[in-house]
Structure 1
Amino acid sequence: MAMGEITRAFAFVLRVLMITSLIIFSQLATSVPIYDESQALIALKAGLNDPLMHLADWKLANGTSPPCQWTGVTCGNLSTVVSLNLSNMNLSGVVSSELGSLKNLVNISLDRNNFTGELPAELVTLSQLQYLNVSTNSFSFGLPSNFFQLHLLQVLDCFNNFFSGPLPPDLWRILTLQHVSLGGNYFNGSIPLEYGRFSNLKYLGLNGNSLTGSIPAELGNLTELRELYMGYFNNFTSRIPASFGNLTNLIRLDMANCGLLGSIPPELGNLGQLDTMFLMLNALEGPIPAQLGNLVSLKSLDLSYNNLTGVIPSTLIYLQKLELMSLMNNQLEGTIPDFLSDLANLEVLYLWKNKLTGTIPENLGQNLNLTLLDLSSNFLTGSIPKDLCAGQKLQWLILLENQLTGPIPESLGRCESLTKIRLGGNSLSGPIPLGLLSLPNINMVEIQNNQVSGSIPSEIIDALLLSYLDFSHNNLSSKLPESIGNLPGIMSFFIAGNHFSGSIPPQICDMPNLNKLDLSGNSFSGNIPPEIANCKKLGLLDMSHNSLTGSIPSEMEYIPDLYFLNLSHNQLSGPIPSQFANLQTLSIFDFSYNNLSGPIPPFDSYNVSVFEGNPLLCGGLLPQACPNATHGHRSKGVNSNLLAWLVGASFSAALMVLMAGMSCFFRKYRSQIYKYFHRESIIRPWKLTAFQRLDFSATEVLDCLDEDNIIGRGGAGTVYKGVMPSGEIVAVKRLAGEGKGASHDHGFSAEIQTLGKIRHRNIVRLLGCCSNHETNLLVYEYMPNGSLGEVLHSKEQSVSLDWDTRCNIAIQAAHGLCYLHHDCSPLIVHRDVKSNNILLDSTLHAHVADFGLAKLFQDTDKTESMSSIAGSYGYIAPEYAYTLKVNEKSDIYSFGVVLMELLTGKRPIEAEFGDGVDIVQWVRREIQTKDGILDLLDPRMGVVGIPLQEVMLVLRVALLCSSDLPVDRPTMRDVVQMLADVKPKRKGSSLGDSRELAELVGLKDDELHQVLVCV
């Protein structure tokens, strides 16, 4: 009996072991062999470009080597691959379908690379997959239609790619999904109603697409949802569903800039856990619902840029956690509520551009956390409260364009946190408070168009960070102190329309970064100081409507970036220096109403009105011709005149012989002389850092630094052409602003390493960098056709650009900028996009140049030109004057200007546009007329036969890019997509089709209106 039980027990154990073995062997049989997984990864690598060699260890040591130790690969218990993490490795290429062979994958992270093409359809065979992140690449087309077969998937992140077509309607069938991010793509059509059936969804991101239609009320069924993003470039043109009030677990709601209409539903007051509500940049109307006062967890509320009316509801007093309230650019009325002073956590209050009246609450400053305050462009009266900076955290105080009176509070002179104070366009009086201009962080002071009196406090010499100062049109008087030149950071200095007197101190141009100087409408007397030529970065100079005497200093020809010069309505005498005609940047000037005489310089183009009021001026387009040289009458002085002539002629001849000899000597020994005068930068050893295989050394790069090899100069430095011993031609840029004694590079090496790793067909390749810690040389690939600016604007047209070539250049340059903005981590803002920084190779393909260099200059603490820091004149976005900062939206504005250059063939600033008018304003004005589009096109590309639709599309992109508001400008990805659509639109219509053109430009409410709607 006992033996039988033992036998049965043994048989049972044996059966269990057999079954277990069968299960294990079955599992092993269904899994992918290690060798096959290694081969699949090798096949995946074969389709990729790995410039930084992250996947160098992906190689087969022997036939059975598992890949578990390879970079980015994680294996499970059975040594099968369960995770593949290739995030942020600068990889590019196409993801192989072999990825589908890794059957046990649970986690795939391919984000922040440069992958292109489609996602392999084999992904749907990965039955174990729970996490898929392919964000920030360039995947295109639609998602695989049978994605819903991934039954265990929890996270699907496809953000920031090029996916298009409709949203996949069957995603809801993946019941395990908790995180779906499809934003930043080109999905179109409406949101599927089925998306209301996600049962476990906590995150839904549909923002940044091209979705239309109505927002489904069914999304209100997603009661587990915690984050909902639907804004930016979608255009729903619908109301916010009242059912969104059911999303009681929602923490973040972002529906900005997506075409919302109607009123804000009061049901949103049910979202008690909400901490962020962004509804700005829509067409919402009606009052702000009082029920929003129930959102007691709210920290950020932005309802700006809508059409909201009524008053600010008193119930918002209950939002005690609120840190940001932005209601600007609406039509709100009434007064600013006193209860805003009781919101103890409020840091940012933006009420700009409404219809608010009454006074600024006296206790607003008792909120000790207040940091940014903008109440400008309302109808506020009364005085500025004296305790606005009681918490010593106030950084921005912007009260522009109101009806404020009284003095500027003295307490602001003790607000050490202040960085910007903008009080222009009021009726403020009294003196400038003591201490205001010497605050340790102040960089912008605007008090223009008030009644401020007194003098500029002498303490201004301590304003070390001040970069923008505007005291125009006040009652300030006295002389300018000589110490005014001690402002190291000042870039814009405006004191027009005051009562300043005395002479202009020569020290005014000791300010190393000064680029805009307006002294007009005062009582300055005396001569224009010749030291004005020391202002090497000066672009705008206005000294009109003063009492200046003497001659115009000829030294002013050495101001290389001067584009605006107004010396009118003074008492200047003598000639206009002929050298002014050599200033290539000078496009707007006015010498009228002085006592000038002699011939006018041979300017390229001008209006004769800029010379009127000077009866002794002659030549050019003026009605009075210059007299011929006078023939002296024979008199007893003739012999002395003849003797003087002979002496002068002899001296001139001797001087010419001497100069010829020196010229021969210099030509013969130029290289030695050049190197001698640059010996300080040659003494120390040079290091060549290569970013790819190079066939030359630092010595051979240095040999390029010859005057004969110079091919360009700019604010960033001097560029030389160099031919290496192998025959390779390179461009060598010697960076400006460097000198003896630099002990370290302030991060230059690290930054240049980043730029050296960038690879894109439309970006000039940085081959290497030479440095001896005193001088830096950048070595680039050489572009034989120079810059787009040279080709478009040079008097000698060596290269002609037809319409197709210009379209291609626009598309290629857009691709280059798109790469910098979207595919680099971190993103690179160019900061100086202009036609001169778009270079053309031998086939006229465009390459963006000088990217990232502005940041390098800024980081090295060296003073650089305006073009290095914040753009070049004519390309600078309008918000620069407001923020003094540039970002990717500033690049996009500049690119819009480049597109207008391509269309018109004109520079960003031309005299024919009129005073103060740039190419953007001129184009907007021209297209208002029936023949305006024909008139603005560059005739050199052959107007007849150009496809009409293409012109209109490129013009529309240019106008969108150059919108006044940054939020109205598209991203570079959108620009690329819009320009890519240009050629497919070609249907045979051309600018020779006059009837179609007349219909197009003649209808103000048709397509032309669509072009203008955003500008």
Structure 2
Amino acid sequence: MGQGHPALLLSLSLLLLSSATADDGSAILKLAKSITPLPSDWSTKSPTGFCSWRGIKCDSSNTRVTSISLSKLSLSGTLPPEISTLSELQSLTFQDNQLSGAIPSLANLTKLQTILLNTNNFTSISPGFLQGLTSLQTLSVGDNVNLSPWQLTADLAQCASLTTLTANECNLFGSIPDVFESLPSLQNLRLSYNNFTGALPPSFANSGIQNLWLNNQQNGLTGSIEVIGSMTQLAQVWLHKNEFTGPIPDLTGCKSIFDLQLRDNQLSGIVPASLVSLPKLVNVSLSNNKFQGPVPQFPPSVTKVDNNVGNNKYCAPPGVSCDAQVMAMLEIAGGFGYPSILSDGWDDNNACGWAFVTCDADKKNVVTVNLAKQHFPGRISPSFAKLPSLKNLYLNDNNLTGSIPDSLTKLPELVTFDVSNNNLSGKIPNFPATVKFITKPGNPFLGTEVETGGGTTTSSDVGPTKISGGMIAGIIAAAVIFIAVLSFVLYKYKKRPRKYEKKVERDSGKAFFNNGITGGGGYNKVSIELNSQSSVDDSGKNIFEEGNVSLPIEVIRQATDNFHEINITGRGGFGVVYKGELHDGTEIAVKRMESTVMGTKGMGEFQAEIAVLTKVRHRHLVALLGFCINGNERLLVYEYMPQGTLGTAFI
């Protein structure tokens, strides 16, 4: 194509320039007509010269608006939606006015860095308000008490450059979105005086937040405050007037905290020494909770302490030690996460007057602790060993995990110890023959090691596993025997008639496992179809043949009567086990887990079980027949063991 005529090119350039000018000028003119009183040098008739109007800044071409700043002018009126057309806008500040109506959508203004709309009378926020604001650094919409209830959505994650979010007292409700891993620059989060509910988002962990204001929610945030222990950049923490429960976490890593407000919650447990010793702490409030143990004593550098007893359950005044049995019992409660049923009743300096505790005739020594059937989570504390007169300990029918502390075997008076119907694991301590030690039913993994995320351990009471030369030789010998047996089984398997002749049509969803195991079965960086399957026909080949162990969810549901509770045969650390029967009479055991509950730890176990059990056959391991991933569910299908539950097959 030949070179264009110079005059034509000039005309096109002028046309484009005038179009861009007209666009920004039109939006500014709409703004001028929407607000009152009008700044003295503004016009509602013509946008000519708008770049020189008060509060308006433009780029070097004097055609595109980069900043609108009209704060503290007692303006009323509305903000027109045409503001969203100012594609070069970097700053929009209208704070401390009387503007009303909707806050217009500012979506996809990719150069916008500052939005200050706080302290106005806005009544609504347009949908998608925050979408695509990739350069946004400061957002302030707080003190807009007339806003209709609205939610802070996951769109916030798109504001990856955000450093300050202020949205206090503006009718926010719902949960705080769990998007903070996408906001690495966020330092100030101020969401006080709203109606947020639910727990603190896990993505707070390891964030760079320094100022965290979540106080005075209308109905109260709930759950643990454990996550703040990993927020090492925190300086000011306002969590007061909510419904948080559980203990104060270890704050050793939070060395910059100077202001910690925890009053008026339902927090319990012993105030940790890591709080008392925070090097920069100046202001702290703990009143009106359910704290236990001794009253904390802060150093003189902490100039303001609000620690009125209120609802707190301190067992001794400042400077006075609590009774040794009382402290032991509180440490025991700590193993369960300081449940409220214990913090409510364990409130003086004599354990012999507490619920679930029986003492001797002199009311001096604890002889029985009965915490059965309380549905407590957590672990068994080794502090039970600090009760030398303990004779009976009932912890059955809870949700306890981890190992049984070996120190409990040293209790000289112990007669009965019941831990049945829990999810304990690790080695089984060797109690004296005089102790009635009850572990069954339940505890399918007791006596085995379970994965904890960073390796394979039993508990803190069990030292690192050492593999001796004899063990290595035994493993090699077992491997040789296994290969021989496996060859024989495969030979027999190929000759036997097929029982299950249904073909499965699978959805397109796929998952990838990389567990370091090479060879067949498709488990070494090999794509395997895993998602829920919905249709079955009567043609095709055996579903279990040729290493194809991805099972359709419909087959599993049919086999277990849609996971009917009557088919439950046990409960493990990561799910429920169901008995089932395929249409050809094959009995199966189905271990059902949810990935949202399991987290990384549970998914590790799921992958490990598939990787190992699809390749190994041993008298101590049931055979894995298949697996299925259906949404958040993870299911493992084993052969059914008529001699006992799936859990007992692992012992």
Whether TM exceeds 0.5 here: the answer is no
Higher share of residues assigned strand: 2
TM class by shorter chain equals 0.3 to 0.5
Normalising to structure 1: TM-score of the pair?
A: 0.26
- Which structure has more RCO (C-alpha within 8 Å, separation ≥ 6)? 2
Whose radius of gyration is greater, 1 or 2?
1
Higher share of residues assigned helix: 1
Normalising to structure 2: TM-score of the pair?
A: 0.40
